Structure 1
């Protein structure tokens, strides 16, 4: 089966790594899966024209119902969609986007949510047959570079006023220019806080493994880049403690005091960090349970089997249409 796969493919982001991993699952089952960036298309008609070319595509898949799924509304092929955190956390607040998302969900043969919580929220805010949404946590597979030099971005630093070893390193691509400018301005005024460019996944995992803890401070998270591909569950798999803001997307993964620590304010973040520094038993517990959580809930093998099975339904739908 020749499948078109649409996603937001900014390099070294969570969407990119998720899409690549799912694409490899599909192709390992003998299908052809062409991964394309949504930025390549201006409208659904552009995608409809692409899939009709010779040899034609026989099905499609999309990550994010609005950003990518809307581009599939004009095609006459069976397709499936994968929820992104932005879909439920942000896009449903816009009435026009919500209507489009409902159209996509109604036309899709199946939809995948990364957590039971995300599925429940989707069923609450969007019109859709409940049986259409499947839950499949993202598979976690970490690879660590053999060598990594901290001097790539730690050229010089002042020590924090209380302890010069306490530093915060923010790593990632500059996706939003306005937000980037705001963050850069704040960092210039801060001591012991550093910005670093994105790294390859293997180098990033090497950085994480050398950290005392990994922090997720996002105020809106589904189960996307920050929480899975490059952050929380990766940290758990690497046996690094996790500190995360107490929002639904994070709390779906991090159980406070069990496999990580949650905070709701800057003051609470400092308090929980101090607990982690001083309480060695707490640190050992969250590290141990974090590793177990990933092994039990984020199996790459299970993820692979799920997507191969779902794509098979598209394959059968093509012949029954």
Structure 2
């Protein structure tokens, strides 16, 4: 793959050394990596012309603002690597902060060199206003606790000790939480939206609700009907085994990649 890599390349600086190291990694993996100084480009249009002239297929940038701001809108996928200036300085400036947020929305991935950098970025951009609203609402709601991220093994242990797993999302593709609950033999109550209804068959592999009142009724029904709970658990477990097998998924992706290899030879 032909890649553009943007960074501020002042000689003998940490940025330049890091960029060269990353470029070496990419080229060792068989890619063509064109490393360019972000300061050499004055506008996105210059980047666009360069991408076309060099037949570039993807891009990366070191620093979310200094390099990343030049990459959106060119029709090629890109990723960014956070720099200290991003999170220590640029984030404090309103306009730069807004630009960096937009870059992150389009980036395919973002790399942070330390856990503290990752946590700072998450606090700044995982929608802080909404996060504050959720935390405030939870504090005012009796019986509801907000638990942060945890290791998968710990999460599964918690789920196994729960009466049920609730998915109240208003939009879903395919909920991994629902599938994990079924696999762990825990009943599922999910909002009746297309993504959830594609996985949960009401009364068979789980229960679907459309509003808070229906959720309360179904939760009480589930809690008072051990036979229904047992049936839902068994059906959910069997559904996951039949349609979401880890081994079948692995085999399928392996087959798809072999198809790509075959087409590249043609």
Query: How many angstroms apart in 1 are the aligned matches of 2:211 and 2:56?
Result: 45
Task: Label 1:271 to 1:304 Cα distance change in 2 as closer, same or farther (>3 A).
Answer: same
Structure 1 segments unaligned to the other structure (5+ residues): 5-48, 59-72, 77-96, 105-172
Partner of 1:311: 257
Structure 2 segments unaligned to the other structure (5+ residues): 4-22, 33-54, 59-72, 78-121
Partner of 2:83: none
- Mapped contact 1:51–1:57 kept (Cα < 8 A): no
Task: Label 1:55 to 1:286 Cα distance change in 2 as closer, same or farther (>3 A).
Answer: closer
Partner of 1:275: 221
Bigger RCO (CA 8 Å, 6+ sep): 1
Partner of 1:263: 209
CA RMSD of aligned residues (A): 3.1
Query: How many angstroms apart in 1 are the aligned matches of 2:206 and 2:242?
Result: 16
Partner of 1:75: 57
* Alignment map for 1:1-321 (pairs within 5 Å): 53-57=27-31, 74-75=56-57, 175-223=126-174, 227-228=175-176, 231-320=177-266
Cα deviation digits, residues 277-316 of structure 1 (max 9, x gap)? 1111111110110011011111111111111111112223
Please give the secondary structure, in 2, of the residue aligned with 1:244: strand
Please give the secondary structure, in 2, of the residue aligned with 1:243: strand
Query: How many angstroms apart in 1 are the aligned matches of 2:187 and 2:206?
Result: 6
| TM-score, scaled to structure 2 | 0.56
Cα deviation digits, residues 23-67 of structure 1 (max 9, x gap)? xxxxxxxxxxxxxxxxxxxxxxxxxx8997344249xxxxxxxxx
Task: Label 1:52 to 1:317 Cα distance change in 2 as closer, same or farther (>3 A).
Answer: farther
State how many pairs are aligned: 165
Partner of 2:39: none
Q: Name whichever structure is richer in helix by fraction.
A: 2
Please give the secondary structure, in 1, of the residue aligned with 2:146: strand
